[in-house]
Structure 1
Amino acid sequence: MPTNVLFFLTDQHRTDTLGCYGNTTVQTPNLDALAASGTTFDRCYTPSAICTPARASLLTGEAPFRHKLLANYERNVGYIEDLPENQYTVSGDLAAAGYRLGLVGKWHVGTHRTAADYGFDGPALPGWHNPVDHPDYLRYLEERNLPPYRISDEVRGTFPNGEPGNLLAATLHQPLEATFEHYLADRSIELLQRYAADPQGRPFYLATHFFGPHLPYVLPREYLEMYDPDSIELPASIAETFEGKPPVQRNYSAHWTFDTLTEQTSRELIAAYWGYVTLVDSQIGRVLDAARDLGVLEDAAVFFSADHGEFTGAHRLHDKGPAMYEDIYRIPGIVKAPGTPAGQRSEKLVHLIDMSATVLDLADLDPTAVVDGTSLMPLLRGEQTTWSEDLLAEFHGHHFPYPQRMLVTDRYKVVVNPDSVNELYDLQTDPHELRNGYDDPALREIRDDLLGRLYRQLRERGDNFYHWMTSMYPVGDKDYDTSLSSFEEGSQL
């Protein structure tokens, strides 16, 4: 029987901000309870640490190189800005199977087509951050006699050209009920009530996509000051020197003005980020409570994840970018499915696209329609199953083209940067990824094995990035004409 699905997706969410992932300070009672009732994936990754490609992958079940929506349209560097009209989508299969589809919150999967074009109910909310000027949100405030959006106490660094940097945080002069996050939860609950009352009893898929805790951290004072900055330990990778690293990382650090901020400001920003996480958790809790009150939660599958992580000062960076560190590629992954054991933890390497395949599986549809993902159901059921020992991720640019490919295993990670130095990290001995071991003779055998595995998988997938690796790295024997031509096929005299 098809299963109802609640899918919560946050934006730019660090895994280490959740109690269920080991944070003993940040209050995330609702997500912690969800983890206790389901399975928590400790090694969950995004296919690409940038909003639009990752969200398009969740919708299509395809890696970014395949669906080709490679960059956020606000910083588009010449790539396409909408999915092809004939693009396969998971929502299309669900709709054909009789599912009612709802998506409330951040879309960010294209310039022209909205979630409604893919069968979803819900307000069309454009952009990368809370669209506080949207007519539906303004109507929400007016109907409830709530004050309008107003901020003060802006926190900014200084750009390399001497101008004020991007907004990083600010005080929001609205009560909790007026926040965009509360509005999103209200709209989700309204859809949930409609679906639960469906006279035909049709199954539903309801996604709530929060724009936070993406920076800037614009919060009511009670959340902005919820956590004491003086008690916060700065990330160990704040010791980053960028020595032996791709120079672009140092440039990104300057763009995000890290060195123009005081240590105290860095602590205050992390405290604000944590407050944002707690605010979002509280609104997820409201939707879950409504589902419970409506009698639809117990038999529903519940997913929680994020499109990617956030630096919050790690590696002297903010936001995300062309640096394939765990801070932004590792994401939360929690799934509760009916009839599966509670309180499980998995160390398997999984990614966001696997969740798309799992949704189809729960809907009694063919999960192999998701070509770049695998259903998590065997893991959720606690079965002994063969699983991949490595995982791929990719990046194509933000602000400017910057192609990268990454392969991660249980211990190691290799990153190929064609226009710069490559990277190799031992996540066991160097969990903060401060030492690039790519040229370390002691790691050469491991490096070459990882390069070969990455090369072969890229080629099998049809990701043409492998062509660069063919001539540049020791990737193993070739069984094809590497020049991709016929003029070498004649016999040599």
Structure 2
Amino acid sequence: MTSGPRNILFLMTDQHRVDTLGCHNPTEVSTPHLDALAASGTRFERAYTPTAICTPARASLLTGKLPFRHKLLANYERNVGYIEDLPADEFTFSAALSDAGYRLGLNGKWHVGTHRNAADFGFEGPDLPGWHNPVDHPDYLKYLSDNGLPPYEISGHVRGTLPNGNPGNLLAARLHQPVEATFEHYLATRTIERLHEYADDYRTGRRPFFLATHFFGPHLPYLLPEEYYDMYDPDKIELPASVAETFEGKPPVQRNYSALWTYDTLSEDVSRKLIAVYRGYVALIDREIGRILDTLHELGLDDSTAVFFTADHGEFTGAHRLHDKGPAMYEDIYRIPAIVRVPGSPAAQVRDEFVGLTDMTATILDLAALDPAQAVDGSTLLPLIAGEKAPWRTELTAEFHGHHFPYPQRMIRDARHKLIINPESHNELYDLLEDPHELTNRHQDPSLATIRHHLTTRLYTTLRDRGDNFHHWMSAMSDTGPLDHDPSLSSFEPNTPTYTPT
């Protein structure tokens, strides 16, 4: 625990690939402000989302619980029957901070439910619903008007062709606005205004604050002004190695999702341009984050404010012949950027432990001098940030429940291997050392039988102990070892402590 509560600045992006940060990929991209943040704090090399879809991931950050536990399992835009809002009595870190005297602010994407907005959870700031920049929002239109800036307008729409012959989803377009008129600049400006207000409140009343900026990007479609749309030369872009994906031995849904995102209907030049524009989008956001961090410094709050940077999940951007995200548990969409700077902690640290969004929830609570165990599926990162050799998990799990349609998946990975259980078709096993791009499914490879059994048993045991009922499927369909219960749920003898199959 910390000795007393700290201010917290929480910066979050949406659908953000790790390899678009210079501190992860210095030869390919430039993100000077995020790189500087990493150089002054701790970068987590193995950070993961609990699920690669916006609403459930953000609900996990808010509650400190995995999706199967909080049960908000899908984005409402594609919801196919799951609940659409967190239960009214659900624990949230915002309520805990508010009770502890914190002032709470959020500028940007909320996307945690349909009927209850950020204000319902104690956050000040404009209500900005939806999954992408709401460019018709009254506060944004007022910002443009107040500053004499031109309205939103795009051209040069980039789309592929869907299997039914219709135009595909919009992937990118040129935005005919200056940088100062972009939604990203607007969000940063509103954050800076609130930061000034919160700084005054903190200095006069010693009321600490939690202030978040949740950018809607670099989620597709990539809509950028010319300066950033053309920032990177497509001719110098290397396509990801996983465009060699054949989907052989993979769940058929992956090939279907490739068709949904129209990858094979786009030319190679267009695919390179999309990667270039995506990187330009990251650069634009990096610039706006720089403005926020500069303001924090100018206000003299560096020594009293912890700074977080992360994302809800990653993005394919052509990897595995896919775009967006979906029912494929590849590193591209499950690994996320994660940087934390806590005043007084060592700088320029790189930690290799497996961490996730629920750990950030626990860390927020710890920084506020509250019990981090309230984030029941997280652990505070402060010992790692302090440079300690703390006991830590050696495996990481993730889950998925569907997007467009129900599609349950569970995943476990350790330092080298990843196992994915797909009830509808083929399970997957990857050797991430020999096959870092996850092209070869080795689930049926006899040479990995021992590893497959170990990971299957570990995943089953973990899910069973958590109370994730997915374990019932595994107990019937996977080699989980001897059972200590009746998976059929049909044994009614109260004095039978164990179940032994005959």
Name the SS of the counterpart of 2:434 in structure 1.
coil
How far the C-alpha of 1:489 sits from its partner, in A, is 6.7
Contact 2:52 2:314 in 1 (8 A): yes
SS across alignment from 1:197: helix
Query: 2:310·2:337 contact (CA, 8 Å) conserved in 1?
Result: yes
2:69 equivalent in structure 1: 66
For the residue of structure 2 that corresponds to 1:153, the secondary structure is strand
- Structure 2 counterpart of 1:291, one-letter code: L
1:250 is paired with a residue whose SS is helix
Residue in structure 1 matched with residue 184 of structure 2 by the alignment? 181
Q: Does 1:125 align with 2:125?
A: no
Give the corresponding residue for 1:226: 231
Moved more, 296-305 or 365-374: 296-305
Q: 2:152 aligns with which of 149, 153, 162?
A: 149
Residue identity opposite 2:320 in structure 1: H
- Structure 2, unpaired ranges of 5+: none
Is 1:209 matched with 2:214?
A: yes
Instruction: Write out per-residue CA displacement over residues 170-227 of structure 1, whole angstroms, 9 at most, x where no aligned residue.
Output: 0000000000000000111111111100131200000100000000000001100000
Tell me, what secondary structure is at the counterpart of 1:162? coil
Structure 1 Cα separation of the partners of residues 124 and 442 of structure 2:
49
Structure 2 equivalent of residue 88 of structure 1: 91
Match of 1:392 among 397, 414, 418: 397
Relative to structure 2, which stretch is displaced further, 469-478 or 41-50? Answer: 469-478
How far has the Cα of 1:297 moved from its partner? 2.0
Q: Residues 118, 489 of structure 1: CA spacing in aligned structure 2 closer, same or farther, 3 A cutoff?
A: closer
Q: Distance in 1 between matches of 2:24 and 2:466?
A: 32
The one-letter amino acid of 1:101's match is: L
Query: In the alignment, residue 197 of structure 2 is paired with which amino acid?
Result: R
Aligned-partner Cα distance in 1 for 2:163–2:302: 51
Compute the TM-score of the two structures, normalised by the length of structure 1: 0.99
1:271 corresponds to 2:267? no
1:402 aligns with 2:407: yes
Q: Is 1:113 equivalent to 2:96 in the alignment? A: no
1:324 maps to which of 318, 324, 329: 329
Alpha-carbon distance in 2 for matches of 1:474, 1:417: 14
Superposed displacement of residue 383, structure 1: 0.7
Asked whether the 8 Å contact 2:397–2:411 carries over to 1, the reply is yes
Report the equivalent of 2:13. 10
> For residue 34 of structure 2, what is the aligned residue in structure 1?
31
What is the SS of the residue equivalent to 2:302?
A: coil
Amino acid paired to 1:195:
Y
Aligned residue for 2:170, secondary structure, equals strand
Task: Tell me the distance in 1 between the aligned counterparts of 2:453 and 2:80.
Answer: 32
The one of 239, 243, 246 aligned to 1:238: 243
Deviation at 1:106, TM superposition (A): 0.2
Tell me the equivalent position of 1:417: 422
- Aligned-partner Cα distance in 1 for 2:492–2:205: 64
1:462 maps to: 467
Q: 2:427 and 2:491 mapped to 1: Cα distance?
A: 32
* Counterpart-to-counterpart distance in 1, 2:24 and 2:80: 36
- In the aligned structure 2, how far is the partner of 1:127 from the partner of 1:206? 20
Cα distance in 1 for partners of 2:323, 2:26 equals 20
What is the aligned partner in structure 2 of residue 444 from structure 1? 449
Paired position in structure 2 for 1:191: 194
1:290 aligns with 2:295: yes
CA distance in 2, matches of 1:490, 1:472: 27
Uncovered stretches (5+) of structure 1, i.e. residues with no partner: none
* Paired amino acid for 1:200: G
1: distance between equivalents of 2:183 and 2:303?
28
Distance in 1 separating the partners of 2:399 and 2:177: 39
Question: How far off is 1:490 after superposition?
Answer: 8.9
* TM-score normalised according to structure 2 size: 0.97
After superposition, the C-alpha distances for 1:83-125 in whole angstroms (9 at most, x for unaligned) are 0011110101100000000110000001010000000010000
Q: Which has the higher mean CA deviation after the structures are superposed, 470-479 or 178-187?
A: 470-479
Shift of 1:483: 2.1
Please point out which of 46, 51, 61 is paired with 2:49. 46
Find the counterpart in structure 2 of residue 253 from structure 1. 258
What is the aligned partner in structure 2 of residue 303 from structure 1?
A: 308
Deviation at 1:485, TM superposition (A): 3.0
Q: Match of 1:124, SS?
A: coil
Matched-pair contact (CA < 8 Å) for 2:302–2:343 = no
Aligned equivalents of 1:22, 1:476: Cα separation in 2: 42
Q: SS of the residue aligned with 1:164? A: coil
- 476-485 or 23-32, larger mean C-alpha shift: 476-485
Taking a change above 3 Å as real, the CA distance of residues 297 and 485 of structure 1, as seen in their structure-2 partners, is same
Query: What residue identity is the alignment partner of 1:273?
Result: Y
In structure 2, what is the Cα distance between the partners aligned to 1:478 and 1:244?
29
Coordinate RMSD, CA, aligned: 1.1
Code of the aligned partner of 1:77: V
Identity rate of aligned residues, in percent?
69
1:338 to 343, 364, 369: 343
Alpha-carbon deviation of 1:486? 3.2
1:24 Cα deviation after fit: 2.0
